[in-house]
Amino acid sequence: MYNFKSYITGIIALISLAMAPSLSVADAENDAKGKSAIEVTWGDFNDFRDVSPAMEPRGAFHERVKRSFDKFFTEYSEELPEGQTLVLKINDLDLAGAVQFGATNEFRVMKDVDFPRMSFSYKLLDNNKNVVKQGNASIKDMNYLHHEKTWKRSREGFYYEKRMFKEWVKENILN
């Protein structure tokens, strides 16, 4: 049976391709070389120290954590020198705070003793994919509640963990 909607969609796609500016192979290679990136592989969330949800299903919470961090890593990759790629394998994650169980609700409570931690392996690659630095890192922020401007937490979530990672990058990658 003839599908008019599919036909129109195909025509529009062809017109878009024909009107798009053409790039040479050299242009495409220069674009690829100039872009910095953070590539992330995640371990098993069920094996992580503390990625426990409060008031949502475990799988949905794990997916939300992953999406939030993946978005953060994509945006933060712009801080890397042009053309470099930071390849991460997240082995463990311990979110700031701890889930407390109430009578009918569960919630994450922030206390000094429940500081964020993250362990990962990393490789920093230059624009030719040569290894510049590599290693394993275990980072933690035992003072996470007492940093200046902690009250200006991001609305996106997982502020303490992302801040801790940014500090690690400044000290170990950008130096």
More confident residue, 118 or 12: 118
Q: Does residue 162 form part of some domain?
A: yes
Q: pLDDT band at 109, cuts 50/70/90?
A: confident
Q: Does residue 133 form part of some domain?
A: yes
Of the ranges 23-32, 84-93, 94-103, 156-165, which one carries the lowest mean pLDDT score?
Answer: 23-32
Q: Does residue 25 form part of some domain?
A: no
50-64 pLDDT, tens digit per residue, is: 988 888 899 999 999
- Model pTM? 0.75
Q: Does residue 119 form part of some domain?
A: yes
Q: Does residue 80 form part of some domain?
A: yes
- Whether pLDDT at 30 is above 80: no
Per-residue model confidence (pLDDT) at position 92: 96
CA distances from 10 to 25, 48, 140 (A): 26, 46, 52
Cα torsion 60, 65, 118, 122 to 10°: value is 110
Mean pLDDT of the region 28-41? 72
- CA atoms of 118 and 161, how far apart (whole Å): 8
Q: Does residue 130 form part of some domain?
A: yes
Per-residue model confidence (pLDDT) at position 13: 40
Q: Does residue 90 form part of some domain?
A: yes
Of the ranges 25-34, 76-85, 105-114, 164-173, which one carries the lowest mean pLDDT score?
Answer: 25-34
More confident residue, 55 or 79: 79
Q: Is residue 111 within 8 Å of residue 121, measured between CB atoms?
A: no
Number of domains making up the chain = 1
Q: Does residue 13 form part of some domain?
A: no
Per-residue model confidence (pLDDT) at position 78: 95
Range(s) of the domain holding residue 40: 35-172
More confident residue, 118 or 159: 118
Per-residue model confidence (pLDDT) at position 166: 95
- Whether pLDDT at 121 is above 80: yes
SS (H, E, C) the chain: CCCHHHHHHHHHHHHHHHHCCCCCHHHHHHHHHHCCEEEEEECCHHHCCECCCCCCCHHHHHHHHHHHHHHHHHHHHHHCCCCCEEEEEEEEEECCCEEEECCCCEEEECCCCCCCEEEEEEEEECCCCCEEEEEEEEEECCCHHHCCCCCCCCCCCCHHHHHHHHHHHHHHCCC
